[in-house]
Structure 1
Amino acid sequence: MTAQSLDAVIIGAGVAGLYQLHQLREQGFTVRAYDAATDVGGTWYWNRYPGAKFDSEAYIYQYLFSEDLYKNWSWSHRFPEQPEIEQWFHYVADALDLRKDIQFETTITAAVFNDDTGRWTVSTSTGETIDAQYVVACTGMLSAPMSNLFAGQDDFRGDIFHTARWPRGELDLSGKRVGVIGNGATGIQVIQTIADTVDHLKVFIRTPQYVLPMKNPSYGPDEVDGYKERFEELRQTLPHTFTGFEYDFTSAWGDLTPAERRARLEADYDNGSLKLWLASFAEIFSDEQVSEEVSEFVRDKMRARLNDPELEDLLIPSAYGFGTHRVPLETDYLEVYHRPNVEAVRVSDNPIGRIVPEGILLEDGTVHELDVIIMATGFDAGTGALTRIDIRGRDNRSLKDDWSRDIRTTMGLMVHGYPNLFTTGAPLAPSAALCNMTTCLQQQTEWITGAILHLRENGKAVMEPTQQGQDDWVDHHDDLADANLISKTNSWYTGSNVPGKPRRVLSYVGGVGAYRERTQEAAAAGYKGFDLR
């Protein structure tokens, strides 16, 4: 079969992939996107579990490059649910006429760089071979599910699902004995949604989570008009805040009196969003005393709702600070555990041993009999989607092997040794940990488009980070990360949820606005830190 020749292959048709396809196509490049799904949406295609919804406000989880594209879609709620989000992706794909250049139900299995030609040979699950000058990986920060974790999963007599591979169509859980493994942001959405449907629900809890109550009003015409009128304000603001949200840190802890601090915490908590985490006091990430005071504020809020010493001990964190894990938004999640059909099972000191035909076997020999097991067990974040592809760079070096030793990138946009491979949502850039994803992915894809245009305009064919440029970025990233309490906490933020994964804070913690400035400065300096040839 003759290889198809393209200027660029895009891997993924989610937020980054759709916008990257649009940009490169508008600049006259021959480009095609590939996705394993049957339609667009990326994360929001796969994550269709009960209760899946935004926890970024809908009006900021949008593209800001086109006012018409923004204003011709109206959201029904502040935090809409997955079906509506998926419809928005369909709207974008149709409005920009993107589907004709997307190949669905196709997995990229390998990408090999040819040192002689300076081009990539890309292989697909459908048996195709593509010759491309550039590969742009829009594979997602949280898209490689940790689904094969326990011995005996294939022996289970009931149904077992990972939340990120939920079956399409309705799944009737009524009258079933259901177990949920995992109580992070996804697990919480599932638990609070199905508790009143199932016959009996068992939640297997290893690590308790700080939670914040979500306020999710519906939007009528006045609310929709109100946020649409803010388009220019949001377009100017979001790329420059610390996390790409509309709100930002504005007060230093030490500049306020105790009463003023309390008032600020109460106001941010009552906002019903992630504001308490992402815009109260930046010191929660660096000052252990401030972290403890804010953590205790949240614990008090949780205690008041639980009002049960045993549940408080199981569900309220004490071993790490508020905000150093991903903070979930929830709706009556804590109250679920007061229901007679819900049982919380502690597995921190009595872990899951294996899955047996009847259900879940704990190490002490206890068997929990179940009809359905829901695995809300997270992802191999940042690296997993790329290391599951056989990517070979210069001299046949393997990205999987390189990252199994040390996770290194240049600004999360490229990797030394892998010329003309561009990445979005990758390690050492702002990503799902501390960023509104659309804000960050728009900026990263725009930078990639600018770099490819620069090569074309200057008669260059190959771009690669220098070793020194990458080392400098990694050192800068680590200096910031080491001073941040996130680095002291075990979570997927540091890769500690994946056995054998090298420990490193996966996301850039210097702020979205600061990251944007640094990447733009490198581009303005003729792509300082990169070799162009």
Structure 2
Amino acid sequence: MPPSPTPDVPRYDAVIIGAGVAGLYQLHQLRRQGLKVRVYETAPDVGGTWTWNRYPGAKFDSESYIYQYLFDEALYKDWSWSQRFPGQPEIERWLQYVADRLDLRRDIQFETTVTGARYDEASGRWRISTGSGEQVDAQFLVTCGGMLSAPMERVFAGQERFRGRIFHTSRWPREALDLAGKRVGVVGIGATGIQVIQTIADQVGHLTVFIRTPQYVLPMKNPRYGPEEVAAYKARFEELRSNLPNTFTGFEYDFVHQWARDTPAQRRAVLEEIYADGSLKLWLASYAEMFFDEQVGEEISEFVRGKMRERLRDPRLCELLIPKDYSFGTHRVPLESGYLEVYHRPNVEAVSVKANPIEQIVPEGIQLADGSVHALDVIILATGFDAGTGALTRIDIRGREGRSLRDEWFSDIRTTMGLAKHGYPNLLTTAVPLAPSAALCNMTTCLQQQTEWISGLIGHMRTNGKTVVEPTAEAEDAWVRHHDETAGATLISKTSSWYTGSNVPGKPRRVLSYTGGVGEYRRRCNEVAEAGYPGFRMQ
């Protein structure tokens, strides 16, 4: 058992990991309760994913006016967005505005990585260690590390031998990077890869895109906002604050159409109208049956395939870039702006690596299994993340009796409502598995809800003189069963993707996100709080 805290170790009521959307709001709430709080952030500034993901083309695919904090009307209305889906620099400035407006920086320690945390059963507190050798003591450890913050960087043998530049999209160089005339390779065509590819194609000398899994894509319509558009969305503040937390995905729109009720002609009209919206609405507010009924899923998939064929024209490109072996909506659906047309450019080459995978990185470029080598000056890895779990399994977190969260999650991914973990008292979590925030949610909607729930729990404990809280094994078992029953009814559970952890070798397979809906999840969390937190043992 580790020693109890000593007087020379700084003591806090709460330590928060991460200064992104969740961490900033969590800090604000706990400070308002009078807690002494410290936030540790690896990056040099606030912003979380919007600090790390600086790659060309990075932008929202949630509408800007819904990807906001809704707890303070003045905070909302005193910031104005320039367009429907703004880019990373503007989003980062918004989060800096929030930090400055709420005077949060004084309690955030930047360029500091939490490397370990051990629960001390004698004191009922956490001892937290950083990469610089600092140690602090805290009653509560609140994790706000994000669900897509652990990049899959070391994915190919020989990366260190490459003579050019090689980096993951979420570790894009902060200094200016001149790609003019360069031979550039992009590995991966998920949402991030697509944004990079469509942005840099006309800047580079030659672009080689290595394609394993094709993606269904939807065209983005991204109008700029003038004073009238800004005033219009700000006038909807109360409507959005009431609506967003109760929809299925935390967006402003919801599933209102029913497949069985509509005729084939009506279905086609609905799909055409929603497709023309230029948003994620076709995925998140057309026909919910696509997630449960293979026939419905196939018909909607074929609708999207048809739209992609019209733009691609070339049979070879259609074969490479249009999915056939999984259903629309069971993978993350990217929005794009001229992405498909990029492949018609003479300086762009599409290379399939499904049957002929990447074997290794060699000094001059990328070598495939058949021995062929693609010579490159720059390699961009759009290879995704260890979603949901990676932010915490890369920290050595030890609970009661020295148990390891990393070991447990490499064996079986389990949480209690995505908010806590049996065996880890006073560890409270956001954006981890078995909650909508793990994948299927407008992130600000879900992260606000989770941090508010955590703040409510801590407030309840302080009011009632409790110092330690831990979910029971029975409560965790019940939530995992409910989660699995809900997820098991969907086609998502039958599809291999990062949604099920299949992109990470050795990761246990489980649908990472709660699929019962954001509104239903919120209702269940509220029920637990209103009933005095049954299933959470306090002392």
Q: Same fold (TM over 0.5)?
A: yes
- Equivalence map 1:87-486=2 (5 Å): 87-431=93-437, 433-486=439-492
Identify the residue that residue 26 of structure 2 maps to in structure 1: 20
2:501 aligned partner, one-letter code: G
Tell me the alpha carbon deviations over residues 116-140 of structure 1, each in whole angstroms, 9 at most, x when there is no partner.
1110000111221111000000000
Q: How far 1:528 sits from its partner (Å)?
A: 1.2
CA distance in 1, matches of 2:521, 2:175: 40
Tell me the alpha carbon deviations over residues 190-220 of structure 1, each in whole angstroms, 9 at most, x when there is no partner.
0000000000000000000000000000000
Partner secondary structure for residue 255 of structure 1 = coil
1:8 aligns with 2:14: yes
Structure 1, unmatched stretches of 5+, are none
CA distance in 2, matches of 1:479, 1:344: 40
1:456 aligned partner, one-letter code: R
CA distance in 1, matches of 2:345, 2:208: 11
Q: Is the 8 A contact 2:432 2:438 kept in 1?
A: no
Q: Is the 8 A contact 1:464 1:530 kept in 2?
A: yes
CA distance in 1, matches of 2:92, 2:500: 30
CA distance in 1, matches of 2:426, 2:312: 53
Q: How far 1:433 sits from its partner (Å)?
A: 2.2
CA distance in 2, matches of 1:433, 1:364: 36
CA distance in 1, matches of 2:128, 2:517: 34
Partner secondary structure for residue 2 of structure 1 = coil
Identify the residue that residue 65 of structure 1 maps to in structure 2: 71
Q: Is the 8 A contact 1:481 1:508 kept in 2?
A: yes
Q: Is the 8 A contact 2:16 2:144 kept in 1?
A: yes
TM-score for the superposition, normalised by structure 2? 0.98
Tell me the alpha carbon deviations over residues 225-247 of structure 1, each in whole angstroms, 9 at most, x when there is no partner.
00000000000000000000000
CA distance in 1, matches of 2:173, 2:70: 32
Q: Is the 8 A contact 1:286 1:483 kept in 2?
A: yes
Percent identity over the alignment is 73
More displaced, 423-432 or 102-111?
Answer: 423-432
2:22 aligned partner, one-letter code: A
Q: How many corresponding residue pairs?
A: 533
Q: Is the 8 A contact 1:2 1:129 kept in 2?
A: no
Q: Is the 8 A contact 1:192 1:336 kept in 2?
A: yes
CA distance in 1, matches of 2:64, 2:308: 26
CA RMSD of aligned residues (A): 0.6
Q: Is the 8 A contact 1:350 1:362 kept in 2?
A: yes
CA distance in 2, matches of 1:158, 1:403: 36
Q: How far 1:434 sits from its partner (Å)?
A: 1.2
CA distance in 2, matches of 1:412, 1:50: 32
Q: Is the 8 A contact 1:408 1:415 kept in 2?
A: yes
Q: How far 1:503 sits from its partner (Å)?
A: 0.2
Tell me the alpha carbon deviations over residues 313-348 of structure 1, each in whole angstroms, 9 at most, x when there is no partner.
000000000000000000000000000000000000
Identify the residue that residue 495 of structure 2 maps to in structure 1: 489
Tell me the alpha carbon deviations over residues 434-477 of structure 1, each in whole angstroms, 9 at most, x when there is no partner.
10000000000000000000110011111100000000000000
Q: How far 1:432 sits from its partner (Å)?
A: 5.0
Q: How far 1:77 sits from its partner (Å)?
A: 0.6
Q: Is the 8 A contact 2:162 2:361 kept in 1?
A: yes
Structure 2, unmatched stretches of 5+, are 1-6
TM-score for the superposition, normalised by structure 1? 1.00
1:286 aligned partner, one-letter code: F
2:238 aligned partner, one-letter code: E
CA distance in 2, matches of 1:36, 1:183: 27
